[in-house]
Structure 1
């Protein structure tokens, strides 16, 4: 069996497996909420994680799944991609191709947060003009802060400045992600907590003036 034939068979097997556990009501609900994939099986994330544990973790399979316009395939791609094969340039390409917040959340959790370049890209992304890049940046920083990664003074100030801007729209997906990252930042220590509190006080004053 050639590599291409084996990969095609793996994709067919995954799609058959997804069809077998399809959740019609969840699928319909996702479509009602605006998800416009070609196919939505409505499979919950815990079940996808169980499936991923039994599937080959190869670059070729993950890349092929990412190219599918199928919700579950896109989410599985991030679970199956070997961390050592996800270079920063490829990660940037994936973020450019992301369609929904769920893809960002899943890919950051299972893949991006395990990369050596994660910190560098996170600060770069939160300063982007793209909402999806900003979202991935804040999600990634949340994970890094939870892992105990303490930023240097320059990076900390960059995070505070960018988060303050994002949190002017607290109900947006970027604003919510920035707020959650800020909480994780505050948990790093007294110095970080003090920086965040000063920012929040300034933010509250500016919002009061606007009103």
Structure 2
């Protein structure tokens, strides 16, 4: 089946799982998409299992800009060994929501060999990109991939600014990341603990 036909078939299948209540709840929480069927992430994971890892299909789904389910499904279908650094940066530049930022880090970016390069790149961008960076940093460390000093220093510099943000999703991501760095990296544990204490998160 042609990739374009697969995309059409997939988009039609979203109707079987659509949930208007969930979609409305997402809008109320600030998750705005041009098209949102409200399909749950577990249902999207089950849908992804029906397809082999397919870079052409994943890219076609990603190109369906504004369609929540297409983009989330793309993160599940894209084979990590077929994603170049340039493509990953293109996707990173295209993040439009905190949900998508988190799913990119969890489903795809953590398996790329240049994960910390992406972290450094995304820390220079907007809030949703930095949400992805903080989630990705945490995932890489949990997989036992030790960050270099430059990446750690750049991340801590960014968190010292973002910790004052009114963006709750950004704050949640960076606090989770800082907590893990404090627990797992003795080199920066004191610095992180001091940053949390100085900003009223000593009981975090």
Structure 1 position 148 matched with structure 2 position 144: yes
Instruction: Note the C-alpha offset of 1:32.
Output: 4.0
Instruction: Note the C-alpha offset of 1:29.
Output: 2.6
Deviations 1:96-133 (A, max 9, x none): 2221111111111111110011012202322x142222
Equivalent in the alignment of 1:208: none
Q: CA separation of 1:142/1:168 partners in 2, compared to 1, >3 Å: closer, same or farther?
A: same
Gaps of 5+ in 1: 205-211
Larger mean CA deviation between 38-47 and 113-122 belongs to: 38-47
Equivalent in the alignment of 1:167: 163
Structure 1 position 137 matched with structure 2 position 138: no
Equivalent in the alignment of 1:18: 14
**Aligned equivalent of 2:50, options 51, 54, 68:** 54
Instruction: Note the C-alpha offset of 1:81.
Output: 0.6
Equivalent in the alignment of 1:123: 120
Structure 1 position 67 matched with structure 2 position 63: yes
- The separation in 2 between residues aligned to 1:35 and 1:165, in whole angstroms, is 24
Deviations 1:32-66 (A, max 9, x none): 44444342211110111111111132111001111
Gaps of 5+ in 2: none
With normalisation by structure 2, the TM-score equals: 0.87
8 Å CA contact 1:121–1:137 kept in 2: the answer is: yes
Deviations 1:165-197 (A, max 9, x none): 111226533222111111111121433322211
Equivalent in the alignment of 1:113: 110
* Number of residue pairs matched by the alignment: 200
User: Counterpart of 1:187 in 2: which secondary structure?
Assistant: helix
Instruction: Note the C-alpha offset of 1:13.
Output: 2.2
Equivalent in the alignment of 1:207: none
Q: CA RMSD in A?
A: 2.2
- The separation in 1 between residues aligned to 2:8 and 2:138, in whole angstroms, is 35
User: Counterpart of 1:57 in 2: which secondary structure?
Assistant: coil
Equivalent in the alignment of 2:80: 83
| Structure (1 or 2) with the larger CA radius of gyration | 1
